[in-house]
Amino acid sequence: MTNNRPLHLFANVTAVTTLGLIFAGALVTSTGSGLSVPDWPNTYGRFMFAFPWSDMVGGIIFEHSHRMIASVVGLLTAVLAVWIWRSDARAWVRWLGWAALAAVIVQGVLGGLTVLFLLPTPISVLHGALAQTFFLIAITLAYVTSREFFQTGRIPVSGGAHHRLRRWAWAALGLVYLQLLIGAVMRHTGSGLAFTDFPLTGGALWPSFGPAAMEQVNWAHWQLGLAEATRGQMMIHFLHRLTALAASIAIVGLALNLWRNPEIDRRLKMMGAVSVVLLLVQISLGAATVLTLRQYLITSGHVWNGAALLGWSYLLVLRLLRHYALEPAPARLQVLAPEGVPAA
Ligand code: HEM
Ligand code: HEM
């Protein structure tokens, strides 16, 4: 069986367009434009695509263009699902195509419900989280239709190293995903500016959440003209910073393990190195989000680069699982001392 190149190309376009859509969605939240268009599925009572360009002003620009780009992604996903269904012999891939279509429909409905129910936190968080999950499904479809997936030759990696690499790769992916979920909760509970300093948090490495410390943090808020932060908001914010540290350790650990392993080829080593670059950009954008008091382009860049880091870590796991085969470790030569004679 060989890969269908046009189909693979189309799956890639769908995944890349989704990444663009995540930036457009992030702009809606970062600019507070979520309710600039109060109705759904229509836009100010008109069929979405009949809405005049001349009326695209203020927050409507962000909200309406997000809906239009989302429709394009919905259409691409529908075409992809049908194309896979008609041309791919693997039943599980055909199911995955339909799963992608179901996910994009649920995502669109969640987007609509966010508007109709005036941005309730759980729905907004779910909309943010499903966006990233849908992106992973789109990457899976692109990978399983690629030439690499159909190649039969595997690069052998000896047992111990292979297990270690897999553990690091899963840890990195899992922690980045968890971090995105905490990020979404942080964003939609208004906890993004619960602390306004960086790299310290509330003036300390490990902040106190007692009344005196909270008063001090809120005094800084008052001087900056920000709303008072609650203890819950501060805890969510600090948790996001702690998880960032855990994710950083996993990503750097994975990159070092890849780099040091002579059995791993250059391409995967480079993937590990790019993960570290994406991580550094992500931390810088996170710090800048706080220090600029959520400048909207920087904040959206943080969400967008977070999605890119997630997608990249996922692709690394897929490649490691598919393209590198486990080779049993060679049996150790054991020199046994004759009975009764102490071993040297
Ligand atoms: C493929 C479909 C879609 C994807 C991947 C997607 C993605 C996103 C993302 C990533 C965000 C930012 C979340 C955050 O920053 O936490 C967002 C926000 C938003 N999206 Fe979508 N979206 C889709 C469809 C829609 C549709 C059809 C609507 C219809 C109204 C919609 C309405 C919204 C609204 C109102 C927000 C702002 C929510 C808030 O500020 O709380 N989305 N979207
Ligand atoms: C591995 C590192 C990190 C990742 C993957 C990550 C990812 C994310 C994501 C994806 C969001 C938004 C989620 C959504 O709404 O859908 C977010 C929000 C946020 N992140 Fe991070 N982040 C990281 C590190 C940091 C660091 C070090 C800081 C610095 C304090 C930071 C500060 C923020 C802030 C302030 C928000 C909320 C922005 C708002 O309220 O609009 N992040 N993060």
Centre of ligand 2 from the C-alpha of residue 250, in Å: 17
pLDDT digits (tens, 9 = 90+) for 327-336: 665 555 555 5
Whether the predicted pLDDT of 85 surpasses 50: yes
pLDDT digits (tens, 9 = 90+) for 270-324: 999 999 999 999 999 999 999 999 999 999 999 999 999 999 999 999 999 888 8
pLDDT band for position 160 (cuts 50, 70, 90): confident
Which residues line ligand 1 at a C-beta cut-off of 6 Å? 21-22, 25-26, 28-29, 34, 40, 66-67, 70, 73-74, 104, 107-108, 111-112, 114-115, 119, 124, 127-128, 131, 134, 184, 187-188, 303
Q: Which residue has a Cα nearest atom 42 of ligand 1?
A: 111
Whether the predicted pLDDT of 254 surpasses 60: yes
Whether the predicted pLDDT of 158 surpasses 90: no
323 token code pair: 């393209």
CA distance 49 to 67: 10
**Residues 137, 201 within the same domain:** no
Q: Which residue has a Cα nearest atom 36 of ligand 2?
A: 192
pLDDT digits (tens, 9 = 90+) for 28-45: 999 999 999 999 999 999
Of 151, 186, 204, which closes a domain?
151
**Residues 146, 101 within the same domain:** yes
Q: Is residue 285 part of a domain?
A: yes
Look up tokens 């979920």; give the residue: 181
Q: Is residue 340 part of a domain?
A: no
**Residues 128, 115 within the same domain:** yes
pLDDT band for position 344 (cuts 50, 70, 90): very low
| Count of structural domains, the chain | 2
CA distance 306 to 304: 5
pLDDT of amino acid 337: 53
Q: Which residue has a Cα nearest atom 42 of ligand 2?
A: 286
Q: What is the tally of helices (H) and strands (E) in the chain?
A: 10, 2
CA contacts within 13 A on the Cβ side of 143:
19
Ligand nearest to the CA of 108: 1
Ligand 1: nearest atom to the Cα of 131:
5
**Residues 211, 301 within the same domain:** yes
**Residues 59, 92 within the same domain:** yes
* 51 within 8 A of 44, measured Cβ to Cβ: yes
Q: Is residue 97 part of a domain?
A: yes
Q: Is residue 341 part of a domain?
A: no
Q: What is the pTM of this model?
A: 0.93
Ligand nearest to the CA of 37: 1
**Mutate which of 22, 29, 181 to test ligand 1's pocket (most atoms within 8 Å of Cβ)?**
29
Its domain, for residue 147, covers: 1-151
**Phi first, then psi: what are they for 286, rounded to 5°?**
-60, -45
